[in-house]
Chain A
Amino acid sequence: MKNLLTSLSLYLLVLTLAYAQPNAYQEAMKSQLAAMQQIDSPEKGATVKNAFLRISEMNSTEWLPLYYAALVEIETAFRFDGNKDAAFDQAIATIKRAEKLSPSNSELTALHGYALMGKLSLDPASRGQELSPQVMQLFGKAIDQDRENPRAVILMAQMEQGMAQFFGNGPEKACGMARLSQELFDKEKEKIDEHYILPTWGEAAAKELYSTCN
């Protein structure tokens, strides 16, 4: 009897290992987050974006896979040649899907602003008047939704820096925000452990902006 129990429990354990994978979602996310760091071509970008979209198909109540799919699309459009306008539009469509799952999410609002900033950067002369207030408003809203979100602050700082350069104003405001975002990044780091899959990107940009301040 004891043997049988042992056998059964062993059997269940094997089954669990083979099929169920309780943290399949976590694992899938982590493996794609690792792959995200290795993107060196638009093709690899598409591969990782699609992998996140597949995860979102399986886990249709999670906003995070859609968030990363959009982030990869935006970053790929910034880094490589291609139809950038269409890519930013697609990213915004993906973000809107995610917002239905998680309304008033500071990370999604900031990412939406980031995508719009991409569109703005393609033709600042004619899009500036229309888009820059929208971008500023989205970053402002993202900060409002979560005052500890360092990405919202550093993105806003980048916009402020661009505006200050255009109008010939001093960089004080942008620099102040960059410093603030670094503090928030440090705070965020305390929360990060091996299971952490929430967004953590953006610190390099903060450092880069801050380095121009001295």
Chain B
Amino acid sequence: MDRRIILYLFFFISPLLAYGQTQISGRVIDEQGEPLPGVNVFIKNSYDGATSSGDGSFEFLTSVEGDQVLIFQLMGFHQVELNIQLEGKALKTPDQIIREAITDMNAVTISAGAMEASDEKKSVILRPLDIVTTPSAMGDIVGAFQTLPGTSTLGNDGRLFVRGGDASEVGIYIDGLRVGNAYGTTAGNVPTRTRFNPNLFKGTFFSTGGYSAEYGQALSSTLALNTKDLSLRSQGDLSLMSVGGGYSHTLANEKQSLTASVNYFDLKPYQSLIKQDFDFERAPWGRDAELALQKKFSNGGIWKVLARTEAGGMKLREQPPGEQNSDQTLDLKNTYSFIQTNWRRSFESGWTIFTGAALSDNSDQVNLDSVNLNRKNFLFHSKFSAIHDFSDRLSVNSGMEYFVRRYRESRSPHNPMQSFDDGQLFAFTEWDYYLSKNWVLRSGLRWGSSSLNQETWLDPRVSLAFRLSEQSQVSLAGGSFSQLPVDNLRVLNSQLKNSESNHLILNYLLQTEGLTFRAETFYKSYEELILFEGYPQFPLNPRNGGKGFAQGVDIFFRDRKSLKNTDYWVTYSFVDSKRQFDQFQTQVQPGFAPKHNFSVVVKHFVTDLKSQIGASFSWNDGFPYTDPNLSGEMNRKTKSFQNLSVSWSYLPRQNLIIHGAISNVLGAENVFGFEYARQPNTEGRFESRAIGQTAPRFLFLGIFLTLSKDKSANQLNNL
């Protein structure tokens, strides 16, 4: 043959031959051997590839040759690269397993003791909006949490009581930093509220026990509040309420936002219209100013500052039991400041660094007739923590914390000033290990020390969660928890040690679209509780040595789908608790731990009325108290407590909300206990006075107006 023809053939035919195609086929399966559809299978550096079908199989033609890399790619799964050799004949690869990556979205979460309110995560119990719209809460964060399992409502206190623990056993945190005196100071059985506005927070994490090693110095519970990130637009918010008013202004751009607000409340006009059962000489009042700053850095870091200062007070006339003609006057003034700053950044390398500091400064001045009590609490908390994800299966969170706690107290005219200063150092480490996306083991250690009593301690904690099905899981948590006594006892005896509690919790959680069912059972022990002589208001000779326990079950059911535009939740908590503490000689059921607690919250949206109508009902079987006319301690119980509250929120315009609420609509005459005379009367009986409600009902009416130049809309008009 002519050489040239051969040459031509070689030149012209061979490229076309090379363009001939090879078939590649195979099957993709997951770790359980189930076929995986939707996997992108392709040859690296080519357009050639295919998507696996319903049975996990794929096939495609390719024109490339030689040593190649076949890539299996599916979002949420680890990418696999397979070396293949293409020699012109069809290639069938063996079944390829690809492993699912474990992420926050698909992995089991530890739900023992934990209840989360968030818009971002999956296993949440409440949304941030639910807090504001729970009728009985009257806009108070803690008020909303009182409708959740494990808590009890004390209408004369207002604070959070968890599973047989007193209010000091709940640690409150903002962005991981401890808040000192988080509740407004109160006295004389007037209920208090959380100082912080729920609108500051994007999410809350509430634990009723068995919580993370990142938190400590709280025997029962932690409430972690996370502040909002950048505000989206500049706006002004005006509020006018039956009890006061406020204005808040936000300036925002893409990198930073700043919100400044002032508020004033005064119950005087309200109380002049509606008769109170308490004899207020000066109605409760308060003013506050707040500043919040958020700044986002281009490297992904975020810096936040929150500062608040407030002052308030009230004056109340009381008649001590058994003393008909001798009123005593209680005059309370409080000033409070809180400032905190924190910075957080996630790095591509799997590290997340957090650092922050917070300072709380509280000053109370209480005059009870001729006695003046001055109290100053100061708390400084600094924290550094680092999270490192070694892989999607192992993540470690470790950190160091330093606290300064300072307390000053003087009782004039008799006692000189008493004080203490304590420096506390903590270190913690917590390891999350995912055996698979259905199994997680968390083990943690928390070490602490106090300069005041020279004590060091170590609290180990462990929890485990296992997913039973797509919708349900069980988790188990246990550990030990330490807490130093409250300031006014430590000042009397600086050698007081930690009180201790051990928790064991078993939790079952079922979540389907719109439905949540949660059941939890727990046991906790108390050791080294503080005992003293005298009265809670005037303790003498405090010492460690009290003990007790709490055990119980709680059930929570929430349904957002069965009834149209309706959301409701039902909670029942049973707590069996006995402890020897405070002035008690024996183990008793504490006055703050009713046995049976029940609550229902219902919210219904009426589109035609542009309104949300809500109702909440709380009930418990009564509070135990000691009647000195009978033998023994905690020998009687009040009648059951009940409160039905209703609310109406009307949204006539996008930027206007009118909200009205009434608590205790039925006017139940709730009694929280009895106060007894210290000396018996001439007939030898101790006279008593019921501790009741400030008023049968509380009415709230508020108008909330948002003023903003709707930037996006305005720009459109200029187009």
Contacts and interface: CB of A to CB of B under 8 A. Distances in A.
B127 interface: yes
Interface in B29-78: 37-38, 40, 42, 44-47, 49-51, 53-54, 71, 73, 75-76
A144 B129 contact: no
A143 B716 contact: yes
Interface stretch (B9-17, B92-100, B659-667): B9-17
Contacts of A163: 654
Interface in B664-719: 710-713, 715-716, 719
B46 A140 contact: no
Contacts of A24: 47
Nearest to A138: B712
B651 interface: yes
B715 A143 contact: yes
Contact of B713 (A11, A167, A173): A173
B49 A137 contact: no
B8 A93 contact: no
B18 interface: yes
Contacts of A130: 119, 128-129
A177 interface: yes
A28 B49 CA distance: 12
B233 interface: yes
Contact of B232 (A47, A89, A133, A176): A133
A137 B234 CA distance: 12
Give the most central of B12, B45, B719: most A CB within 10 Å.
B719
B105 A89 contact: yes
Interface residues of A, number: 50
A53 B53 contact: no
A54 B42 contact: yes
B390 interface: no
Interface of B: 8, 11-12, 15-16, 18-19, 37-38, 40, 42, 44-47, 49-51, 53-54, 71, 73, 75-76, 105, 119, 127-130, 232-233, 560, 565, 567, 605, 607, 610, 651-654, 710-713, 715-716, 719
A77 interface: no
Contacts of B44: 57
Interface of A: 7, 10-11, 14-15, 18-19, 24, 28, 43, 46-47, 50-51, 53-55, 57-58, 86, 89-90, 93, 125-127, 129-130, 133-134, 136-137, 139-141, 143-144, 147, 153, 156, 160, 163, 166-169, 173, 176-177, 180
Nearest to B11: A11
Contacts of A19: 15
B75 to A, nearest CB: 5
A14 B127 contact: no
A150 B54 CA distance: 37
Contacts of A125: 565, 567, 605
B47 A55 contact: yes
21 contacts: A11-B11, A14-B11, A43-B37, A43-B54, A47-B50, A47-B51, A50-B49, A50-B51, A53-B40, A53-B73, A54-B40, A58-B46, A125-B605, A126-B129, A130-B119, A130-B129, A141-B712, A153-B719, A163-B654, A168-B610, A177-B716
B16 A11 contact: no
B716 A156 contact: yes
A158 B697 CA distance: 45
A46 B36 CA distance: 12
B712 A43 contact: no
A92 B408 CA distance: 54
Given A134-B232, A137-B233, A18 B19 contact: yes
A129 B119 CA distance: 10
Given A18-B16, A19-B15, A58-B45, 15 more contacts: A24-B47, A43-B38, A43-B51, A43-B54, A53-B73, A54-B47, A58-B46, A126-B560, A130-B119, A133-B232, A143-B719, A156-B716, A167-B653, A167-B654, A168-B610
